[in-house]
A and B are shown apart, each in its own frame.
Chain A
Amino acid sequence: MIRRCLTTASIALFPVAAAAQTSAASGSDRKDLVSIAMFLSIVAATVVITYRSARSARSKVGFYTAGHAVTPLQNGLALAGDFLSAAAFLGISALVYTSGFDGLLYAIGFLTGWPIVLFLMSERMRNLGSFTFSDAAAFRLDRTPIRLVAATGSLVVVLFYLVAQMIGAGKVIELLFGVNYVVAVIGVGLLMILYVTVGGMQATTWVQITKAALLLCGGTLMGIGVLWHFNFSFGELLIAASKIHPKGQAILAPGGLFAEPVSAISLGLALVFGTAGLPHILMRFFTVKDAACARKSVFYATSCVAYFCLVIPMLGFGAVSILMSDPSYFHVGASGQFNRITDLIGGPNMASIHLAHAMGGPILLGFISAVAFATILAVVAGLTLAGASAVSHDIYGQVIAKGQASDAREVLVSKIAAVAIGTVAVLLAYAFENQNVAFMAGLALSVAASCNFPVLAMAIFWRGTTTRGAVAGGLIGLISAVVLVVLSKVVWVAVFKFTAAPFPYENPALFSMPLAFLFTWMFSVTDRSARGVRERAAFDAQLIQSEIGLPQAAG
């Protein structure tokens, strides 16, 4: 029971896996003219945004940070947009659809990362850094090793997240619009490369804001529709849902998702602290004017995400009570029987999409499909930009050119890196089309929580941290997270086809994250080098800068 629920959970979190299993089940009959018209207008709008941002993307400050000119409300929407990926929108409502209450637990885990980002990261990030989160980590530490570790962590997170999103995107687009998988993946790849290389951070931000606004409107519309259907009584909705769901009353109580304490805590740690280590989220704090604006933008982002967490159960329970009685949304067997969970056309990840059709016909279906598409585009663009910045600013600009590269040259490297990352992501998405890639998004989050977050937190908050300690901690966090994921069921059994996994838990964060902190501490206190002494002494200057944000020279 527990095992089955956990599997359902991982499928729902990573729509990739579920979609992969049900690929092209019924793509072509959903090719509605309305969907295609809305889809085309969204693509057109993003291209216009990109074209208009092109001028700002020529300078380094413009390319990486949209000239620090984004307002807190705009940045809050963009942050929320980065976070509300297709995995969150389709995946969590699918989890509510299949397991009820457990889906809500997942949503809460995601949401709880935000106050941590606010309290620990947002202001300090803005005061200590300029372009990437490595700036803050390397403020008083030796830039070459620290940036190499931070950039590696960023690239691992970005690539796994990106490939997971791309495969999910290909499958979802195939289902929504009846486009061939390879065409869909190449199309998404080309669009995201266009946004990033031509429009830089400003285009990426505005695509994200547009999508967040559309998603919030679409979610609200559907939430109101569901409540209207039940005379605005949440109780009636729950009664109707528990009557028709195969699990009955059990969907209103905790199921198996958090029943096993070690896995529950481990997943909780990855969800809560992973957010504070995601490079594409941390990068957004540089797009605003100052630390106060960074802080305010997290408040707006948290409010949007929280609002969405309240809407998602309406959609999930609404999909249960409205769709499950209507065979037209299911693959009906020869005997007229169908499984109300697994036989949903396109799999449970399509629950919100079908719900849109059930409530608003082809027009709402077209709108919500187009919103889901916009969500995919905006998130992959943000990831590509974060990856490109890690290559151009951290590795090229600071490590190879030692901070001596001209602005124009660094921006050029960044654009080349964006093309390269986009191409690699498309190729990997093509190669892994029929593989089980459920581990990818989980791995990305675990690495963020076990490498990026500990390095950053220790460098910012603990006087004793030295370069030696931070490098050791970051590397052990990165390596242990990757190795433990490989040894766990999602890779060892699902990908390599061994019978039993040596690592019995789904998520490594409970082990890899403390290990990273322990190693940082251990290799820092034993560091007797002159560099270590200097770095500890420089903590005072860093503390002052992080608190009051004296005007910095760019660089």
Chain B
Amino acid sequence: MPRLTPEQTRAILADPNFTKLAGGRARLRWVLSAVTLVMFFGFIALVASARSLLGASVPGSVIPVGLLLAFSIIVLVVVLTGVYVQRSNSQFDELARRLNREFAR
């Protein structure tokens, strides 16, 4: 474990870069987690309550609505992880690197 002195800890916590990093990352994390869980448990609720709707075909095709929704969720899961990784790569890594350089000594 790195030994940060209480002064160092206070200094990092007060650093505007750190608040930006921790706050931004927390917001992204909880928002995306909520979206993921709502999507998944919402789909389960739909399966439990609207079975005939999900079994009906998409107009002009033989593919059922439920199957299309399921495939969309699979794709959306990848998109959500992609958003998190992209945002972290472009915003948070640089902030973390800067703070690391400043305080690691």
Q: What is A's interface to B at a CB cutoff of 8 Å?
A: 101, 104-105, 107-109, 111-112, 114-116, 118-120, 123, 139, 234-235, 238-239, 249-250, 252-254, 258-261, 264-265, 268, 272, 291-292, 295-296, 298-299, 302-303, 306, 309-310, 313, 540-541, 543-545, 547-553, 555
B interface residues, tally (CB under 8 Å): 54
Are A253 and B66 within 8 A (Cβ)?
yes
CA distance A309 to B96 in the complex (A): 35
A-B contact count (CB 8 A): 160
> In the complex, what's the smallest C-beta–C-beta distance from A302 to chain B, in angstroms?
5
Q: Which chain A positions have C-beta within 8 A of B66?
A: 101, 252-254
Cβ B89 vs Cβ A547 within 8 A: no
A323 CB to nearest chain B CB (Å)? 21
Q: Which of A115, A249, A295, A544 contacts B12 (CB 8 A)?
A: A544
Which residues 71-105 of B have a CB within 8 angstroms of A? 71, 73-75, 77-78, 80-82, 84-85, 88-89, 93, 96, 99-100, 103-104
Q: Are B75 and A235 in contact (CB under 8 A)?
A: no
Which residue of chain B lies nearest to A242 when distances are taken between CB atoms in the complex?
B62
Known: A252-B55, A253-B64. A548 touches B100 (CB 8 A): yes
Which 8 interchain pairs have the tightest Cβ spacing? A253-B55, A235-B62, A254-B47, A112-B40, A258-B47, A299-B85, A548-B96, A302-B81
Residues 28-69 of chain B: 1 if any A CB is under 8 Å from the residue's CB, otherwise 0?
110011001101110111011001101100000111101100
Given A302-B77, A541-B4, A119:B29 Cβ within 8 A: yes
CB pair A114 B74 closer than 8 Å: no
| Given A105-B70, A264-B44, A268-B40: A114 in contact with B77 (beta carbons within 8 A) | yes
Residue of A whose beta carbon sits closest to that of B51? A254
Interface string of B2-43 (1 = CB under 8 A from A): 101000010011000010011001001100110011011101
Selected from A116, A238, A292, A551, the residue in CB contact (under 8 A) with B36 is A116
Give the complex CA separation of A107 and B4 in angstroms. 45
The reply to whether B2 and A550 contact each other, CB–CB distance below 8 Å, is: yes
B100 near A111: Cβ-Cβ < 8 Å: no
List the B side residues contacting A292 at CB < 8 Å: 88-89, 93
B80 and A265 contact, CB distance less than 8 A: no
Dominant secondary structure of chain A at its interface with chain B? helix
Q: Are A264 and B37 in contact (CB under 8 A)?
A: no
Question: CA–CA, A46 to B32, complex, Å?
Answer: 39
- By a CB distance below 8 angstroms, the chain B residues around A545 are 1-2
Give complex CA distance A309, B75 in Å.
Answer: 10
Query: A112-B40, A253-B66, A540-B9 are known contacts. Are A120 and B51 too (CB-CB below 8 A)?
Result: no
Q: A543 touching B22 by the CB < 8 A rule?
A: yes
